[in-house]
Amino acid sequence: MPSEVALLESRTLRADHLGRVDVLEKVKALRVLPDGVHLSTDAVALYFAVPTEAVNSVVKRYRDELHANGMRTLKGPELQVFEMANLAISKDGQPTSYPQGRAHLRLFTRRTVLNIAMLLRDSEVARCVRTYLLDTEESTRTVVASDPRYDGLDRRVADLEGSMARIGPALQELGPVLNRMSVRLESMDRRMASMDRRMTAMDHRIEQMDHRIERMDGRLEQVDRRLEHVDRRLDATNRVVGAMSVRLTDLSGEVADIQRRLPPPPCPRRKRRR
């Protein structure tokens, strides 16, 4: 069985144990971000009960190894998308485990945390994780050696751990995609809600226009009735005027007839001058 010192010094030995991420939860509970996959630097330091500087020191010395096992740093638009997605996930009132408005955010997966546990020397929690790893490996080998029914089990477990190691990065790559899809779906929900509000406002305006058209129709009906009344009065006036014209014509004929019947007026006589 490899010793704890060999585990601290050999990257190859550490790689052989990176599939045992279940050991972390057995030693101590992890405080993951709302996406359920990643941890911040502060959460890693809290897990190992060490200052944040100790975690940053390990990151500086073993950056390539940790990056190969899932650690990454978000900046710019990628950081904004991740923060928006995690804020959307934590809308139920649970506080987020990282501050907002930072320039960058370093993320760790469970595989990366297990990697740090095999590198961090001055942490009792990390020492417990390493001891648990080595004791579990020794007990597994003892069972396999003492019982012929478990022939090949070690190889199968190794294959399974290798498969899990390949699945881990795939899940890490899938996480941002799901976050982006969640952000887009939320954007579509907001647009649909805005469209619903606009449609409601348009329906209200159409109802108002219908009421105005009804009032206008009522006014037009009143105007039609008034015009009909005026037409009737004009017809009556035309009949009266026609009757008066006929009467005047008759009177003109009678006056002319009377004038013909009257004798001519006498001519006045002129006075003689003396």
Strands (E), the chain: 72-75, 104-107
Residue 10 reports pLDDT greater than 70: yes
Read off the tokens for 180. 């982006």
**Given this model, what pLDDT does residue 63 score?**
93
DSSP-derived 3-state class of residue 244: helix
Mean pLDDT of 158-172: 60
**Given this model, what pLDDT does residue 71 score?**
93
Number of residues in the chain: 274
Query: What share of the chain has pLDDT > 70, as a percent?
Result: 76
Residue 155 reports pLDDT greater than 80: no
Per residue in 211-225, pLDDT tens?
Answer: 999 999 989 999 989
Closest CA to 13 of 3, 23, 21: 3
Residues paired with 72 in a beta bridge:
107
Closest CA to 50 of 129, 160, 146: 129
Q: Cα 249 vs. chain centroid, distance in angstroms?
A: 91
CB 119 within 8 A of CB 125: no
Model confidence band, residue 91 (pLDDT cutoffs 50, 70, 90) = very low
Place of tokens 């897990």: 47
Residues paired with 74 in a beta bridge:
105
**Given this model, what pLDDT does residue 145 score?**
42
List Cβ neighbours of 203 (8 Å cut-off, separation of 6 or more).
Answer: none
Least confident range from 65-79, 116-130, 154-168, 241-255: namely 154-168
Closest CA to 126 of 38, 34, 58, 79: 58
Per residue in 201-212, pLDDT tens?
Answer: 999 999 999 999
Mean pLDDT of 167-181: 71
Closest CA to 130 of 272, 11, 23: 23
Q: Which of 25-29, 55-59, 257-261 has the highest mean pLDDT?
A: 55-59
Mean pLDDT of 154-176: 61
Mean pLDDT of 146-152: 49
Model confidence band, residue 249 (pLDDT cutoffs 50, 70, 90) = confident
**Given this model, what pLDDT does residue 146 score?**
42
Q: 271: which DSSP letter?
A: P
Read off the tokens for 100. 């907002």
List Cβ neighbours of 47 (8 Å cut-off, separation of 6 or more).
Answer: 24, 28, 30, 31, 39, 113, 125
pTM (whole model) above 0.75:
no
d(CA 143, CA 148): 9
Q: Cα 82 vs. chain centroid, distance in angstroms?
A: 14
d(CA 125, CA 136): 16
